[in-house]
Structure 1
């Protein structure tokens, strides 16, 4: 696995975040290289202000901070932590970090955009560019060629203006656009809908998973969340829009609940949804975090987890494994972890490695999903 990005007589040491000893994936791709090559051939004036959107681990931020004032906006706390580590590792110039829920500066000279997987999020970002930046601000976007469809280009044309594409290079393509459309299309910041069977009204910001309805995994696990006075300190790990936090709060009225996600938009959506659907939201805390970094060991008695199986556009199970290991550490003796996931992912086997096979059981399953319970053994029983 390469860790040295060497282009045009410049070299950077880059790692994904969190850094793993057995990492097999690079911290940059050919799309990053294509963007860099384009600006080497078509440089901006030194000191120009560049807004970089969705820089996965900071490769673009490291490169462009040499000659330009860089603002990096991302919805991913993990991406921002990775970018910061790589900037520090390579002693780069300072970069201004912005969350996806922050307003972008209005004096940007050019925008570099890693096209996100979600069209709703892409639409929101294009809308922000057109609404807040000067007319004719150039935008250079990149993605794999097979992911840039006619519908993708139509979004650029509708929400920005004049749009064209490059030739494909190493299976990637650039999109060139300018914010010069005659009218600014209105885009709602939130998508809202009802879940009548659970008496909920939910709203998602643009980059929150399952933006227009309750996803099937959440719908299944809602029927199996504990409901009693036993649990006092609960974590909803990977909280998304907070639907499980709401149900946990209603089911366990004397508990305190911490809703955790690495997506800034997810955390803010969860906060708003809890406030709209729970009578005593002061019991809740909302945290953007890398899994359970910084949480006290043996401090909680229930953790509910809906793990992702991808990081940005890469399929991987290392985030789920980190969630499980962090949960084992943070649970008190006798504490319980509930995991919802696709049945084929083999979570019972993975959890047995941490908790012991006799402490793991499948609570419920259907044709697609399994709900797995893992109890942390007491240290006395281990002895």
Structure 2
């Protein structure tokens, strides 16, 4: 993996997180970062106070370290990566702060930089939050791959921020240049919808997978969730809105469930969904932002439920699934079970067999498989 980044007139060592991922062809910055940095250096040399949104691994935080910078991310892993890359480059954090996507934004800002997220709803939420705090005339500059910037993207900036134009494409990346008009424009988040076949209502914040309805994978997984009256400890790993863990609580009334995700919005959605739908079991639950199960106590839980992702931001990769399986095995008690759902083509059966020495098919359809692996050693 390339780690030496030439950004503007500076060179940094930038590591992509998690550090031990196997796909070493990925790097911690892209041409959109380069374009954004060069543009700011040329057109905004007098900027003193900078708000950065969605800086996945710290390329922007490192490049503008001489300024007062507030970095906003919904990703726990991104927070860790940004802090790590500032540290290894021996950069000061005196004027630097990080906040999560649900925290109040600072209101004394000269310039806003945005790396455009994959989730359109999340972008609209962020633009709405900016509309509330930006003084008229404040420039907002966003960057992304040309193929990811659509007419609807431009319309979102015009709707929430103000007058907007785009740059020429450079290395398949493009800038969106917008100017705050002032005045708050609300976005329709969080969203609440009824969970089919239940009396539950599910609340989703903007950056949560399958925001508007039950996704088909979770619907199929429901057929294979545990059901017991015994005391049991369960982790909903990569919990998203927590719907799998909520259904497990409904079927296992004496269970303690830990909801884990790297998204702050996901964990908050899960917390709301337990609190609103199963308040009597809320005290038996924990809600944790984390890099999978890093630093969880070994041999401590009875079951891990998981629908592993196969991408990280714009990169398609299976390293997160591998990490989830490995750390689930470490965290499970002897005889404990990892139960997952995945797309048929991802061949998780082979991965689990290699890691656990066993794997059982619990159910399948044309798109998904539900698999179980038991920790026997």
TM-score where L is the length of structure 2: 0.97
Is the counterpart of residue 2 in structure 1 residue 2 in structure 2?
yes
Is the counterpart of residue 167 in structure 1 residue 160 in structure 2?
no
Report the CA distance shift for 1:246/1:262 in structure 2 as closer, same or farther (over 3 A). Answer: same
Distance 2:185 2:145 in 1: 27
Which digits, 9 at most, give the CA deviation of each residue in 1:4-56, with x for residues without a partner?
Answer: 1124431100010111275221100000000111012123326x110100001
Q: Unpaired segments of 5 or more residues in structure 2?
A: none
Report the CA distance shift for 1:364/1:337 in structure 2 as closer, same or farther (over 3 A). Answer: same
1:64-213 paired onto structure 2 within 5 Å: 64-65=64-65, 67-94=66-93, 95-180=96-181, 184-213=184-213
1:333-348 paired onto structure 2 within 5 Å: 333-348=334-349
| Secondary structure, aligned partner of 1:26 | coil
Which digits, 9 at most, give the CA deviation of each residue in 1:212-241, with x for residues without a partner?
Answer: 100000111112101013451110000000
| Secondary structure, aligned partner of 2:360 | strand
Q: For this pair of structures, how many residues does the alignment match?
A: 373
Distance 1:30 1:59 in 2: 11
Is the counterpart of residue 51 in structure 1 residue 51 in structure 2?
yes
| Secondary structure, aligned partner of 1:364 | strand
Contact 1:231 1:302 (8 Å CA) reproduced: no
Offset at 1:280?
A: 2.0
Report the CA distance shift for 1:366/1:33 in structure 2 as closer, same or farther (over 3 A). Answer: same
Distance 2:148 2:10 in 1: 29
Distance 1:214 1:288 in 2: 22
* Between 262-271 and 136-145, the greater mean CA deviation after superposition: 136-145
Distance 1:8 1:116 in 2: 23
Q: Please, what is the CA RMSD of the aligned residues?
A: 1.2
Contact 1:325 1:354 (8 Å CA) reproduced: yes
- Equivalent position of 2:295 in the other structure: 294
* Between 190-199 and 140-149, the greater mean CA deviation after superposition: 190-199
Distance 2:204 2:135 in 1: 28
Offset at 1:252?
A: 1.0
| Secondary structure, aligned partner of 1:292 | coil
- Equivalent position of 2:354 in the other structure: 353
| Secondary structure, aligned partner of 1:280 | helix
- Equivalent position of 1:61 in the other structure: 61
Distance 1:151 1:231 in 2: 49
| Secondary structure, aligned partner of 1:198 | coil
Distance 1:199 1:120 in 2: 26
- Equivalent position of 1:262 in the other structure: 262
TM-score where L is the length of structure 1: 0.95
Q: Return structure 1 stretches of 4+ with deviation > 3 angstroms.
A: none
- Equivalent position of 1:375 in the other structure: 374
Distance 1:2 1:254 in 2: 49
Which digits, 9 at most, give the CA deviation of each residue in 1:334-380, with x for residues without a partner?
Answer: 00000011111101100011110xx3111001111110000110x4x
